[in-house]
Amino acid sequence: MAHQQQGTSNISYREVNDDVIKSMTETGRGFYLVLAVCIVGLALTFGLPWAYQIYVGQGVTGLQSPEYWGLYLTNFVFWIGISHSGTLLSAILFITQTPWRRSIYRSAEAMTFFSVVTAATMVFIHMGRPWNFYWPFPYPNQREMWTNFQSPLMFDVFAIGTYSTSSFLFLYFGSIPDLAAVRDRVTGWRKRFYGALALGWRGTDREWHLLQKAYTFCAVFIIPLAVSVHSIVSWDFASSKIPGLNKTIFAPYFVIGAIYSGTAGIITLMVILRRALKFEKYITKVHFDKLGMLLVVMSLLWTYVNVTEVFTGWYANTSYENEALKYRMFTTPSAYLFWLMIACNAFFPLLYIFRKIRLSIVASLLISIGINLGMWIERFLIIETSLPRKFLPFMWRDYHPSWVEWSITAGSFIFFTSLFVLFVKFWPSFSIYEIKEDIGIPMERKGR
């Protein structure tokens, strides 16, 4: 029962409570500095350009005919992809009872929720009339206007709505015991705040029993849900007729890419978190080792799917498909991006084969950031090299994003960071009770 191989067995229960609660209550100057930078950056790179775009119109972007989808959709797919490892990985590792899940899953789940929120904002930014953002939701109204349930975008509304609420509830219900632990230790407004959030949790055997059951059921739901979400996002593209997008391989391709980029995102996050919160004793090298192995697998899968994509296009040998492939790999003005993506996603992660690289924090950070750069480029290329080469050559036109789009792209990263910065302050970012489970149940006679 006791999983003591993680090197956490010599930590006492009290120490876990102290460490996690200290990270929430003791606020240094660095935190306020980061928060201030985030808020100012958010206003400058995200808020103002978006306000400008809403006021003047979508014309301030670089979009044009036929390039109606641009950086915003790239970011949307990217953030949905990032969201894929947190809750999905947490659920899979929970069901398979993997012990090293316990100290990383809480922040990974938060990453899921926040990146889904970021992706959702991208959809609204992308809209031509964002003040009508509520129209695609199926709500009863007196005009009796419903929505088109045949539309792939409607699948998106359902999939992302379900995914964001479910992953939030998964995160929340998983942290109720920890919120209770925080409630017991704080004073003032925090006492009331966490008291309300903890719902009066006491930790009775009945509560634990039911929580574990409900949590397991939710985990079972989350796995097919997460797979369906990115499949559905891929169908936004794959259900069109456009060469380069209309591919049956897109659903598994996107899901693999999503898990890949999400796992890399978790590694980046772990490096930053353990440094910022001084949690080296909970996020150990074991975690980097295991996630590194996972990345090698995902990298090989990703490479396989990419090669298959080119192969099927090559064998199909239709003029549309040939042109799309040629454009993507060689003739686009940003063809170097394709080869940069291949380097970042297919070659550098193979370094993880070496145990030394897996255990090296710096190498992990570099490779994981590289993977996410590559994955962003992948989404960019999927959209930006297919739409400019649609069927009628008269309409072929390259796409050049405007400063507004680049700024909001940068802003989306700041948006995500800000949410996360607030999260580590207001939420127990490590699972107190599951780290305790990791340490082992205290027995008078050891070696039961």
Touching another protein, residues 116-175 (CB under 8 A): 126-129, 132-133, 135-136, 138, 144-155, 157-159, 161-162, 165-166, 169-170, 173
Task: Give which of 54, 40, 35 is closest to 404, Cα–Cα.
Answer: 54
Other beta carbons within 10 angstroms of residue 291's beta carbon come to 22
Cβ atoms of 327 and 385 closer than 8 Å: yes
Cβ atoms of 194 and 142 closer than 8 Å: no
Among 46, 69, 78, 113, binds another protein (CB under 8 A): 69
Task: Give which of 377, 415, 427, 420 is closest to 78, Cα–Cα.
Answer: 377
Backbone conformation region of residue 57, classed left if phi is above 0, alpha if psi is from -120 to 50, else beta? left
Among 32, 217, 336, 347, binds another protein (CB under 8 A): 217
Comparing CB distances to another protein, the nearer of 195 and 410 is: 195
Q: Does 181 bind another protein (CB under 8 A)?
A: yes
Q: Does 331 bind another protein (CB under 8 A)?
A: no
Comparing CB distances to another protein, the nearer of 58 and 107 is: 58
Comparing CB distances to another protein, the nearer of 7 and 200 is: 200
Comparing CB distances to another protein, the nearer of 211 and 329 is: 211
- Positive/negative CA dihedral, 255, 261, 263, 266: negative
Q: Which strand (E) or helix (H) includes residue 424? A: helix 403-426
Span interacting with another protein, options 7-15, 305-313, 330-338, 355-363, rule CB under 8 A: 7-15
- Please provide the distance, in angstroms rounded to a whole number, between the alpha carbons at the two ends of the chain: 9
Q: Does 338 bind another protein (CB under 8 A)?
A: no
Span interacting with another protein, options 61-69, 77-85, 105-113, 351-359, rule CB under 8 A: 61-69
Span interacting with another protein, options 36-44, 200-208, 303-311, 415-423, rule CB under 8 A: 200-208
Comparing CB distances to another protein, the nearer of 91 and 414 is: 91
Q: Does 317 bind another protein (CB under 8 A)?
A: no
Rule CB under 8 A: which of 18-57 touch another protein? 52, 55-57
Cβ atoms of 415 and 46 closer than 8 Å: yes
Rule CB under 8 A: which of 225-254 touch another protein? 225, 228, 232, 236, 239-242
Other beta carbons within 10 angstroms of residue 25's beta carbon come to 13
**Least distance to another protein, CB of residue 130, Å:** 8
The burial of 77, by beta-carbon neighbours within 10 Å (0-12 exposed, 13-18 middle, 19 or more buried), is given as buried
Comparing CB distances to another protein, the nearer of 67 and 323 is: 67
Cβ atoms of 61 and 398 closer than 8 Å: no
